[in-house]
Amino acid sequence: MNQKFIRDFEPDETVVTFALIRGIWTRAKRGTGEEFLALELQDRTGTVEAKIWEVEDAMRELRSGDYVKIKARVDEYRGMPQLIIEKIRKVTDADRQQGFEESDCVPSTPYNIDEMWERLRMLVNREVNDPFVVQLLNNVLERTGDRFKCFPAAQEIHHGYRGGFLEHVLSVTENCVYFAGRYPEVDKSLLVAGGILHDIGKLEELTPAPAVEYTLQGRLVGHIILGRDLVRAEAAKIANFPQQTLLLIEHMILSHQGDYDWGSPKRPKILEALILHYLDDLDAKANHFQSVLRAHRGPGVFTNYDRILGRVLYKRPSASGERREPRDDEAIVDVSPPGEL
Ligand SMILES: [Fe+2]
Ligand SMILES: [Fe+2]
């Protein structure tokens, strides 16, 4: 019997481990109509689907957000590991005294949060020339720092883990610095401000990890308008903040998703906003791409169909040679829905 993390589960083994319930649903067995429970569990290494076929009364009390200890057999379903739970109970104080830590169940950025924060703070002072924008950015970062460092960037699509917001913002902003140097027309202060502030409304749109959910404001207003309001309120506290600069920063936030269909009330009308939109989209897609490849643990070299990217991905052999070329029979396996290549 092993005590290990989700990423290391092997088919047919029995595991005893701790996890966080991300979702739990009552379902009916086909044929008999008897009820069973379907769960989505997570720890810091990933998520896994699980089933409870024999439902006991105490199990009906389990909810999303509960930390649990489980004993389960690792099965496989459609090429992915699935747990068949034999025993499950909520974590107790005794478990905590014996070393259980909630942080082991919360997926986190692989990077050092304090170091990323330091890089972002230094970037403001080094790359932004406009003193009003420097003050605005420093004020926003100071006021939101606690949430800025720990929030996810999204519920699940990209950077959906602790520290994911900071990781995404830093990555986009560092790319903004690079692209500001590529095009002489670009106002670097404006582009960097856009990088740092474009998603700031997410700090009010989402709740922090582990249970990342939309807030009421998030559902009813959304991060784009929440972000514009937050920045406008902060600028109002700075004496003589230039209205034209504020208007352009607001436009960067309002247009960063690029098009009406993607939730932007305005499309980019200045070069800085266009560049920000593409860098934001690139970083979100690249992060999602990497997480799909990382989550793939089936036998083939192609991932399952990913509905967000609308395709399967090829997990090519790495430079270290640890992965291999597809066998002939793998090359013809096509798990795409009809009409999809
Ligand atoms: Fe956004
Ligand atoms: Fe973003």
Same domain, 267 and 325: no
Nearest ligand to residue 256 Cα:
1
**Torsion from C-alpha of 239, 223, 279, 133, nearest 10 degrees:** 10
Give the integer Cα–Cα distance in Å for 218 and 201. Answer: 8
3-class DSSP state of 19: strand
Of 133-137, 161-165, 188-192, 336-340, where does mean pLDDT reach its minimum?
336-340
Q: What is the pLDDT of residue 319?
A: 54
258 CA distance to ligand 1 middle (Å)? 10
340 CA distance to ligand 2 middle (Å)? 28
CA pseudo-torsion sign 85, 91, 96, 101: positive
318 CA distance to ligand 2 middle (Å)? 29
Q: CATH no. for residue 143?
A: 1.10.3210
Percent of the chain with pLDDT over 90: 69
Q: What is the pLDDT of residue 54?
A: 93
260 CA distance to ligand 1 middle (Å)? 13
Q: What is the pLDDT of residue 15?
A: 94
Give a yes or no: residue 175 inside a domain.
yes
- CB 164, CB 176: distance < 8 Å: no
194 CA distance to ligand 1 middle (Å)? 11
Give a yes or no: residue 1 inside a domain.
no
| For range 39-55, the mean pLDDT | 92
Same domain, 178 and 240: yes
| Total of domains in the chain | 3
Same domain, 205 and 313: no
Determine whether 122 is exposed, middle or buried from the number of CB atoms within 10 Å of its CB (0-12, 13-18, 19+): exposed
Determine whether 173 is exposed, middle or buried from the number of CB atoms within 10 Å of its CB (0-12, 13-18, 19+): buried
275 CA distance to ligand 1 middle (Å)? 14
198 CA distance to ligand 2 middle (Å)? 6
156 CA distance to ligand 2 middle (Å)? 13
Q: What is the pLDDT of residue 268?
A: 98
For residue 333, what pLDDT band results from cuts at 50, 70 and 90?
very low
* Greatest Cα-to-Cα distance within the chain, rounded to the nearest angstrom: 72
Give the integer Cα–Cα distance in Å for 203 and 67. Answer: 24
Same domain, 80 and 120: no
199 CA distance to ligand 1 middle (Å)? 5
133 CA distance to ligand 2 middle (Å)? 20
Give the integer Cα–Cα distance in Å for 56 and 127. Answer: 60
Same domain, 53 and 161: no
Q: What is the pLDDT of residue 154?
A: 82
Same domain, 30 and 78: yes
Q: What is the pLDDT of residue 341?
A: 30
256 CA distance to ligand 1 middle (Å)? 7
Nearest ligand to residue 159 Cα:
2
Same domain, 153 and 179: yes
The answer, yes or no, to whether residue 52 has pLDDT greater than 90, is: yes
27 CA distance to ligand 2 middle (Å)? 36
- CB 70, CB 17: distance < 8 Å: yes
Percent of the chain with pLDDT over 70: 90
| For range 38-54, the mean pLDDT | 92
Same domain, 125 and 240: yes
Give a yes or no: residue 188 inside a domain.
yes
Give a yes or no: residue 17 inside a domain.
yes
* Lookup: tokens for 295: 């989550």
**The last residue of a domain, from among 105, 130, 161:** 105
Q: What is the pLDDT of residue 338?
A: 33
Same domain, 192 and 264: yes
- CB 175, CB 198: distance < 8 Å: no
**Which of 204, 251, 260, 201 lies closest to 227 in space, CA to CA?**
201
Q: What is the pLDDT of residue 77?
A: 84
Q: What is the pLDDT of residue 67?
A: 93
341 CA distance to ligand 1 middle (Å)? 29
Q: Give the pLDDT confidence of 138-162 residue by residue, as tens digits.
A: 999 999 999 999 998 887 677 878 8
- CB 177, CB 127: distance < 8 Å: yes
For residue 312, what pLDDT band results from cuts at 50, 70 and 90?
very high
For residue 46, what pLDDT band results from cuts at 50, 70 and 90?
confident
Q: What is the pLDDT of residue 158?
A: 74
**The last residue of a domain, from among 105, 129, 155:** 105
Q: Which domain holds residue 26?
A: 6-92+99-105
128 CA distance to ligand 2 middle (Å)? 20
For residue 110, what pLDDT band results from cuts at 50, 70 and 90?
confident
20 CA distance to ligand 2 middle (Å)? 27
* Lookup: tokens for 136: 């605005």
Same domain, 336 and 305: yes
Residues with CB under 5 A from ligand 1 (ion): 199
Contacts 24+ apart (CB under 8 A), 232-237: 234/136, 234/139, 234/140, 234/143, 235/136, 237/139
What one-character DSSP code corresponds to residue 78? Answer: T
Give a yes or no: residue 296 inside a domain.
no
**The last residue of a domain, from among 252, 267, 289:** 289
* Lookup: tokens for 176: 């903004």
The answer, yes or no, to whether residue 1 has pLDDT greater than 70, is: no
304 CA distance to ligand 1 middle (Å)? 27
For the chain, strand residue ranges (E) read 14-28, 35-43, 46-52, 67-77, 80-90
> What are the φ/ψ torsions at residue 52 (nearest 5 degrees)?
-120, 110
Q: What type of residue is 130?
A: D
Give a yes or no: residue 246 inside a domain.
yes
Nearest ligand to residue 227 Cα:
1
CA distances from 320 to 70, 316, 317, 323, 324 (A): 36, 11, 8, 8, 10
For residue 170, what pLDDT band results from cuts at 50, 70 and 90?
very high
For residue 2, what pLDDT band results from cuts at 50, 70 and 90?
very low
For residue 3, what pLDDT band results from cuts at 50, 70 and 90?
low
The answer, yes or no, to whether residue 328 has pLDDT greater than 60, is: no
Give a yes or no: residue 295 inside a domain.
no
Same domain, 133 and 67: no
The average confidence (pLDDT) of the chain is: 89
The answer, yes or no, to whether residue 330 has pLDDT greater than 50, is: no
171 CA distance to ligand 2 middle (Å)? 10
Q: CATH no. for residue 84?
A: 2.40.50.140
The answer, yes or no, to whether residue 10 has pLDDT greater than 50, is: yes
The answer, yes or no, to whether residue 322 has pLDDT greater than 50, is: no
CA pseudo-torsion sign 305, 306, 307, 311: negative
Give a yes or no: residue 142 inside a domain.
yes
The answer, yes or no, to whether residue 320 has pLDDT greater than 80, is: no
Same domain, 133 and 270: yes
